[in-house]
Structure 1
């Protein structure tokens, strides 16, 4: 772990702290995008899926030097719920990446805009949560049409934020939704909900508050507003340098049962809390003399009020030394209890700060002292909270908003108490041990006395579990219902009985052992209790013989126990905040809502690590909550077994998570914490124990460091294998990988060995445990025997994947690829640069010897297509490729496919353009599997959480082009291709199709990369599947064999979802060739005219020859010719350059003689317009000095009209409307002669 630098004086240290914040070179958005595109194929994402995202969190870990970056996927400016990628980089290099982006995003988003208003969404949420009517709901602010803030409206302690998001659905669809959070006024639930923006349905619902009982908990994705600073009555004081002191059950004591209180003097850690526990302004001296400061405000909340209650005052000396007598109700010793709660919150803050839960990573502080993060989010710690009993919880909103810890009282020692008295018959009368549910009202002090009735839903597998509609609902009315545990949630059973009119519910445990605390989310208005299976069997047996009458109530006379003294539970609850803030980034509280998440496990681990005592042993028994539940220190606590490395006492392994009788999330987390506790002791065995939790360097400190930094490295919505791999990665970063085999041995012992498979982290029942070690951690007994396989990545490419198949524990590998390149990975990939046969040599070795094997790899890469470069004029042209392939794919410069033919006709081009050519040889297609005619009669639509798939073996790379399906309804479906049987292993490829209801053929385009075992199918997909009639195998010789299905019973009878596969061998692709088209400007010319004589000037670019056509039968090959026309008229002149018919320019010109004639005495006459249609005007530059006559004459000499012109006249308008289009002569005559102009009438 990192050692802290101690500087000589506090003043100097503060100067560095507040004036010199840490700076590091942040990875740019462009660099991140490049990294994502490089990993695109491995991530199973398209460039479109990676095109829109935003960074919402980033920080650098002091312990590892890793920069943690968290990005959220977006679509058209709106975030996708929990679609997160976390990137971990060191020195600019990618260390690891966790991917939770949605693939094929654009295709899966359902079209449509928000149809319900934000206010309506809040009403829909309130209705779904059975909350009181809204009161004065007001919009407080908005950020455009996608983000709003509303008033609490009487249903929330906080303002209600809303924003639009996209919510992935169970069948692959992605819907537009309103994302909002409501902190219920009883402080028992802090809901994050997604409301369908089209119809108001609830699409997703999680609780940010995590309870210590067995309830289900998850976390959302919204931000709540900052919590205001609440004033204290007399809790502020001037600067005070006196050391604070607290009389508490100090670390490492877990509870009053583990030792006595001591007076702890100035326990604040100078690194994590540099100005003590009562500072908030960053200046020397405390701001508060009560149990409030920078990290936490601890107060009583017996009234479950909306505001902080009483806090003990230590005075100016900050002396929190209060008496404690537990032989009375807890309210009498609240000062001591609140002080203990304040101390342990601060202690937990300070300890885990040293392992990486600091300001930059999102810890809980009012003032972050300039060290990163947002601040303003110290913990509200509520002692003796009146909102419940026998429980505790911790609500963690995103960074910048304060979390709340609620510590409850535990009745009669908590857990098993006197809640059930059987009154008759006498043979079973007496008091029975029972536990209350964490939901609904507690057992009343005035007992409910009634006859017992066994619920009956008449439905297998258990007709008495109340999981289906009740057949004897009328018999339950006014009675105490009895039901069995299992097959549905506790709350569902109780709600079913309540709906039938039952007054209370007794749940009988269906597994051996004591009753457990029933958890769940939902509303119930009747009390519920659980009894053991043994007691339940005796009562039900007597019920079969006659009436059994009982009373449910709180018959205890013992004083309640105060959870504020169960330090393990305090650390546990605080731990929920740590794991929530560190997984997926501090601004995202939604990354621990999946089924296999380990939040409860980390919290148990945090509590255990804070309470290890010197002299403890690995095999000691450690229970969680033994004080609160009234057990001995060696008790089991509130978990299925105590924590110990002794497999005879705690034998739980990863495979037990598949057992749904193990509760979620608490039972799931318990298995994870079991492995972490083993890891701690393995490291202590190796490196010893250090009681210094802040700066120690022993095994327990290393375990704490590994776990915290592993949480930072893991992806959003992690599973056990994700968590294991993150801890292994943390060891590489922290300790140079010195503990890899120790870590592997610990996890393998608990079923998380090298070949363990977590399946989907959203499914807690699809795990495959394994107890094997990687070969690097095995002990060889003989020298290895070398062997390997080679696989061309594509049918005719240059990239080869090599797979080591050596036996007898090879531990080192050296590959020689035969082209001068080598590698030391067990399973490397290599790309050859030229065709040929290469002798590949593998040498494997271990501590006992080595062995060598070689094999010939032949590379046959098709040559790139070629085509002649061309110089063309603007327009279209055709290009013919020379290739040995049977097709050519043409691409533009951006890589967009344009055509698939040997000859490509370009679009019209005006600029120089380069095209890429790829030679592709396509192979014949085949159809295989049950065809559409066989997909009927035997089966039906299948839409469960079971992963249905077809298992097949590929003999070479291939493409599943299309398939036939029958959809139960219209909507998107995602078909997956896995690299192992039964929908396990890694997702190799996937496609989302938009199906219509009913039968249809759909395009798939799924690429199978090479030989091996694969499976094709999906989950919750609502497609037809056969449960009989299959006749395996279905074979395309040399290509693939479909061998079975994933059915757990009758795998050779079932067929899942995709029928009549259309398949082809993967096409053979060549390298790319290029062809360039140089576009010149074409033929261009200009001209000048003098009467009937024209001079032409060529303006063409890159012209080397010219062909002129003057439109009167004459031509020229000169570059700049002249030409004289015999007659005026309209002529089309055409220029062709370079002999290319596409490089032609033409222009139509009307040629006339001059329309101006000079007269005597400097006078002139002009005719305008000419040519003309209706009127042309004859004008003189000077008034006439003598009388003259103007005549209009046809070309054949006929006089058509005449006009006298008087002295002084300067113009004459000539009406042409009666003239046919033709040339005419205007002749002006005076005593000195005549002058003529030619007129063209159009």
Structure 2
């Protein structure tokens, strides 16, 4: 029935089909929806009953708790017909628009669907932006007007578009979070600005102060977004936002002839479209009733109230399967809500991406959930994998156009999804949902599709090693893209090494071998080529070893199907080759003189903590709070980056709200400029967990440490890309105002043993072969074995006020000038030592009792740390030298 007055009850004006029950009513899309309400009610009635009949054939029947006034089987509870409201609330003084919903309880109680009318502000926004030049990108682009600044005018602003440049990559050079670095280019132009880093209105203020006459704000997500203002800022020029793809399309021409007309759009099409004609949305809402009653059984309708529940995902899946057409394929993009968004079926509709098996179009995986735990965004990931499964089974068993009674792979997919909902536990998460489908396949087909299902789920990050964590949290998952191992029919190997040993210590090598090929593998052999610095420990292997110089080989023999074997042996490391400690701060006495605390927001500042250090007495610690905060601690000294493999290592311990509160390590070589680079891309071991919610640092896809480390763990960061620079370091911690259900009550992040080193590690390739010519080779993960650092000693200065040396340039390349100041004349020796004390060069000179200079060739020295020492009978002087 129509419910334009929002009373949740019929007005008694239902469509009349006459004696012949012919419900044929006029539908004119351009008219006022009230004029075709009979058509809307008829379509809503028809489609609700169609979904009812479809779902009953796949198991949502009377016994399972379907919506039915009379239960003819005697099973389940009747009296629970579904109430469907057409044009709900559209006649109210402030009409209900742009939505739809389902509500309902357990079997025996009626459910309710409310369908709304949709205005022309959806579908990506109105087309305020029209590109006039160049012709290749000309046309109108969906955009949304900001809630601050001047309105987009009726008479369009026509101007060139130029990227805003603030000169600081924090997070982008084009984010307009600082004053313009290119005001002359912006004057009289439309500024193109990127979202992130600061308030929207602040960006507009900086643009207008640079002389821009309007702003186009580029979202990092696919749709334009609404932009609210803030107090104490006065953005006065028009500002609109555009989606990521559209911005990327026009950006390449910014500053190079891109001309835009920014004005009120012409009216195209009706002001309103009725959601009662969007059959996908109707199916979506009905499916909420299906998933609510199948999960946990018909007597419970509260099993999808947890944070990780996939209700929106099942509903989108129903929207797709109820409208699929012969001739479509898995890579055909399909949207949900495309009718009310004024798009064709291949548009995005209500979602971030259209659904398709093509991951270049829809890239969503389980790893994307933590960064956006909103229920629809979470549901998109679940629909994506179910839609992949639908088409994988359709390819395996063909597509049957008979959606109701067919026997194709598509019909099987629907059945497995329906049965999986019945099997899974109350309050399920992604992995329990996956396992429900796997169990359904075992029951229905004897498990013949197990490997296909595993491969589909692994492709979207729900593979063999995946974990959902607590289903009460939507941000503590662990992704895995590995299918069930037996499904990959290969002879396999996995290699692990002792992660950390002292120089001269012993590395335990473990090589796991498993045969997942159905036939016995014969003549299996393991071959290792040991790198320089390692020596095999005779007799340490559990298989006979053949040693030929640096090559080791082990005859494993035959390995039958599903057999698992482990080869172990030991190698001894070079006692003279430790990692070289360049700087170490255990945060003990004097630590406060080396670090500065910067409380950006909040009172939970970094502080020395004397109760939970990794070693010694102190660590630096910051508390996680339930409000927005940002806390920084940074080094007051800069450190030169030198050596063969310069590396930062520190130990840290954290327990924070997953995906919401977390920290990063950053560096800069110019502390006054204040541009800090996140070191996530340089992690060697102990990497970031994943992206934080955008609101925490106001930076999209910002990788960070978060969650629970379960005690102290080490992180190693490669600094090679900064070779020759002098870096400051900082630890930057942020919290959002979210209150996740599993947020730790005493969350924190702390670090200890900050160390710079020239890293030495061993990781070599091991190969597994058989007599048929098969070969697979593997390295150990995460650097293999790290050799513990040592302090190199033995070079100390004797102080003498009558003698001094200076070096320049420093850092040096092909030569270095040694400037000597002395008050005596005698023979002296000038030497250059490596950081581990080895003599690299030596020459004789005579001091002249005054100032003199000696040029030393250094072109043959490798980049790294060195010491220049001048010895006299009076004593010696040493200076540190850096060769780039």
The TM-score, its normalising length taken from structure 1, stands at: 0.36
- If asked which structure has higher relative contact order (CA below 8 Å, sep 6+), I would say 2
The structure with more radius of gyration? 1
